[in-house]
């Protein structure tokens, strides 16, 4: 692994090639399809931290011309939230570009360019260009001064014949072909790989970084798995406890309701039996006393029955 050759898309090689101001300028002109002013400074692996407590960023190639700034990034792995990353990079670069006391109009035009070996948006487009527009009117010009460009190397074949197609094809395949710029980049890559001390140092660094990325991904996956398992266990325990409590409550309520209903039914039945017994005893007493008409009244008239009950009861007493 330590003796392998670095490719243009490997960030140590990309950063080194972009340090060549002439090559960097030509790459920018191919991507933007327009001339670019003379490059004054190229800073590779520039670290920006807006404040001590804030999240820092490392720019692959930060480029300054006489009137514009550029950030060119090479991304070889699929990372989520690229839009948020672009937003943070823009804010960090703006903080770096505007000095204390300067007016906002001093902010130079800024271009952030990502060259990706994976399609970050899944739409199979070779070029994604982002610019702020007014949702209510196309005629409103914000003049914010920045542009974001994301290049998807896997879609190189969707481009028409030309330098950008050849550049993305080289990023994706390593085949220099006959393109003048790509051949110059490839010659620079070969020369850099022949610097064995530099190459081995960068390969070790790249290998370590990738190992850390793998370990990070494994740790995240293990954490997710453990979290899911613990969540399932807790959910099952809580579900059982809740189900038991609800079952007890429901059973108690149901038992109470059933007991009340049965009690009412039994009480009603006992009441009927007692009423029937009292009526039979009253009628028997009236018949024995020869009061046939009163016996008929007791059987058919509730008020008369109650009055006769009291009367017979007082006689019996």
Highest mean pLDDT among 72-86, 89-103, 119-133, 205-219: 119-133
Q: How confident is the model at residue 233 (pLDDT cuts 50, 70, 90)?
A: confident
Highest mean pLDDT among 194-198, 227-231, 267-271: 194-198
Q: Which two tokens stand for residue 4?
A: 């392998």
Residue 265, pLDDT above cutoff 80: no
pLDDT digits (tens, 9 = 90+) for 23-81: 999 999 999 999 999 999 999 888 887 665 677 788 999 999 999 999 999 999 888 79
Three-state SS at 41? strand
- For Cα atoms 270, 276, 279, give the angle at the middle one, nearest 5 degrees: 140
Gap between the terminal Cα atoms of the chain = 119
Three-state SS at 129? strand
Residue 202 has a pLDDT of 93
Residue 30 has a pLDDT of 98
Strand order in the sheet with 39-48: 39-48, 57-65, 69-75, 110-116, 146-152, 127-130
Q: Which two tokens stand for residue 226?
A: 């453990």
Is residue 63 within a helix (H) or strand (E), and if so which, with residue range? Answer: strand 57-65
Residue 184, pLDDT above cutoff 70: yes
Residue 248, pLDDT above cutoff 90: no
Q: How confident is the model at residue 107 (pLDDT cuts 50, 70, 90)?
A: very high
User: pLDDT exceeding 90 applies to what percent of the chain?
Assistant: 52
How large is the average pLDDT for residues 143-147? 95
Query: d(Cα 279, Cα 130) in Å, to the nearest integer?
Result: 98
Query: d(Cα 308, Cα 149) in Å, to the nearest integer?
Result: 107
Q: Mean pLDDT lowest for which of 7-11, 231-235, 290-294? A: 231-235
Residue 146: name the closest of 96, 93, 84, 100 by CA.
93
Q: Which two tokens stand for residue 296?
A: 């008929």
**Residue 172 phi, psi (nearest 5):** -80, -35
Query: d(Cα 191, Cα 169) in Å, to the nearest integer?
Result: 21
């Amino acid at each position: 692994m330590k003796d392998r050759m670095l490719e243009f898309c490997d960030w140590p090689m990309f950063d080194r090639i972009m340090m060549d101001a002439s090559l960097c300028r030509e790459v920018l002109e191919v991507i933007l399809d327009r001339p670019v002013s003379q490059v004054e400074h190229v800073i590779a692996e520039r670290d920006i931290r807006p404040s001590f407590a804030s999240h820092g960023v490392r720019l692959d190639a930060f480029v300054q011309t006489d009137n514009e700034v550029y950030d060119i990034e090479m991304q070889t792995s699929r990372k989520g939230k690229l839009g948020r990353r672009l937003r943070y990079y823009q804010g960090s670069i703006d903080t770096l570009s505007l000095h204390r006391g300067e007016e906002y109009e001093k902010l130079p035009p800024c271009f952030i360019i990502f060259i990706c070996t994976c399609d970050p948006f899944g739409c199979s487009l070779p070029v994604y260009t982002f610019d702020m527009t007014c949702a209510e009117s196309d005629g409103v010009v914000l003049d914010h001064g920045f542009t974001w460009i994301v290049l998807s190397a896997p879609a190189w074949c969707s481009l028409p014949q030309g330098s950008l197609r050849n550049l993305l094809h080289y990023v994706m395949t390593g085949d220099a072909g006959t393109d003048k710029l790509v051949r110059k980049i490839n010659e620079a890559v070969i020369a850099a790989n022949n610097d064995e001390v530099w190459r081995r140092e960068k390969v070790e660094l790249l290998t370590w970084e990738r190992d850390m990325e793998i370990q990070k991904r494994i740790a995240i996956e293990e954490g997710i798995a453990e979290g899911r398992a613990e969540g399932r266990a807790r959910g099952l325990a809580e579900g059982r406890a809740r189900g038991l409590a609800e079952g007890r409550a429901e059973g108690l309520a149901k038992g109470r309701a059933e007991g009340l209903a049965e009690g009412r039914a039994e009480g009603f039945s006992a009441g009927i039996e007692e009423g029937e017994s009292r009526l039979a005893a009253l009628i028997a007493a009236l018949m024995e006393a020869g009061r046939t008409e009163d016996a008929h009244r007791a059987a058919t008239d509730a008020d008369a029955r109650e009055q006769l009950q009291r009367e017979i009861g007082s006689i019996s007493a």
